[in-house]
Amino acid sequence: MTQFAASNLTLPTPLGGELVNRVVRLGEDFELGAFEHLPRLELSGRSFADLEMIATGAYSPLTGFLGEQDYLSVIEHLRLADGTPWSIPITLPVHRDEAGQYTGRVLLTHAGQPVGTLQVSEQFTAQKDYEAREVYRTTDPAHPGVAALYAAGDVYLAGAVTLFEVPRGDFPHAHRTPAEVREVIEARGWHSTVAFQTRNPIHRAHEYLQKVALELVDGLLLHPLVGQTKGDDVPAATRMQAYEVLLDKYYPAQRTLLSVYPAAMRYAGPREAVLHALSRRNYGATHFIVGRDHAGVGSYYGTYDAQEIFGAYTPQELGIQILKFEHTFYCQTCGQLVSPRTCPHDSSHHLILSGTKVREKLRAGENLPPEFSRREVAEVLRAAYQQQS
């Protein structure tokens, strides 16, 4: 592990005190031939994303996939076994009939290519029903996170990992490790940074939350999740294009940083909100925005459950300040973006479009109301949806 060297700026200490670095360079640190004799384990898209998040320090203090003691502690107590806050088990599933071949060091592959190693320290049986009930609050297979859980293998492999190379993917200009994001924050002299998690295009209500936060802090880390999502979410390439046109037109360049967050989406609602906040601390953010139904799906979670869960930890344990916002919308009578805290009018005065209605309008080539979406963003989305039709 490599400890992050602090400068004259006071960035938050990574969770656990050190920013984990498990990236090794083939050809510099090792030759691939040294691993050719090892058993190979092909990673799913989610597990490959988890490998990167662990190895680059985004999931500090984890140095590998969880063992059974940590796994059960996270499920039951929202903490690792040593008491460190942690909300979602980061595990590596394999099918039971394959598990026996994975002992000692294993070569990890993705799309058939070597991507890293796992030093297997433990194998244990997944308690899937327990995990589903506690982490996702449901065992309903219609929940995408639960569906992925039950579709994966029943045995979890634990142990420290290495990553051969940071996969810059489709967005190399915006794909930064936690250490690299911290370097940008330092170079810009930001003493405080608010991170915003998104898996959707930014509409005017999101913009309002971000700009309110920017009145309080020095910089905005716009940190869209670009890992695996469910099929009806807007593709990452379209979202990135929408973010870029929005930032270019409506945000101060020196106070914003667009950088991708390569994790896979689990749709674990409150539990995932905690994971998103803790990992953004590792990226160097001092503040994190949590709005309505963060990381939710369907009606599995209460509107503000993702805000209330942070009461399980002290501010000192979290090490990042949570900015809690209520539902924001455009009020036609107030003539501006508001929330229930600032608007006295009932819903008949509010412009609120469901995701289904937005998609219908985009597919039909219709304009979105300017109170709901910036014109430039709507044009990007409309072009993408019409290509799909």
Catalytic residues: 199-200
Q: Tokens for 176?
A: 């930064």
In three-state secondary structure terms, 201 is coil
Contact 166, 52 (CB under 8 A): yes
Partnered with residue 368 across adjacent β-strands are none
Instruction: Give the CB-side neighbour count of residue 358, counting CA atoms within 13 A.
Output: 20
Instruction: Quote the CA–CA distance of 289 and 189 in Å, as a whole number.
Output: 21
Q: At 72, phi and psi to the nearest 5?
A: -70, -35
Instruction: Calculate the CA 18 to chain-centre distance.
Output: 20
Through-space distance between the first and last CA atoms of the chain, rounded to whole angstroms:
49
Instruction: Quote the CA–CA distance of 59 and 87 in Å, as a whole number.
Output: 11
CA dihedral 210, 215, 217, 218 (to 10 degrees): 100
> Which of these, 258, 227, 229, 220, lies nearest to 242 by C-alpha position?
258
Count Cβ atoms below 10 Å from residue 76 Cβ, excluding itself.
Answer: 10
Query: In sequence order, what DSSP letters do the residues of 250-288 get, joined into one string?
Result: HS-GGGEEE--B-PPP---THHHHHHHHHHHHHHT-SEE
Partnered with residue 140 across adjacent β-strands are none
Which residues are within 8 A (CB) of 43 and not within 5 positions of it... i.e. 6 or more apart? Answer: 51, 92, 108, 109, 110, 115
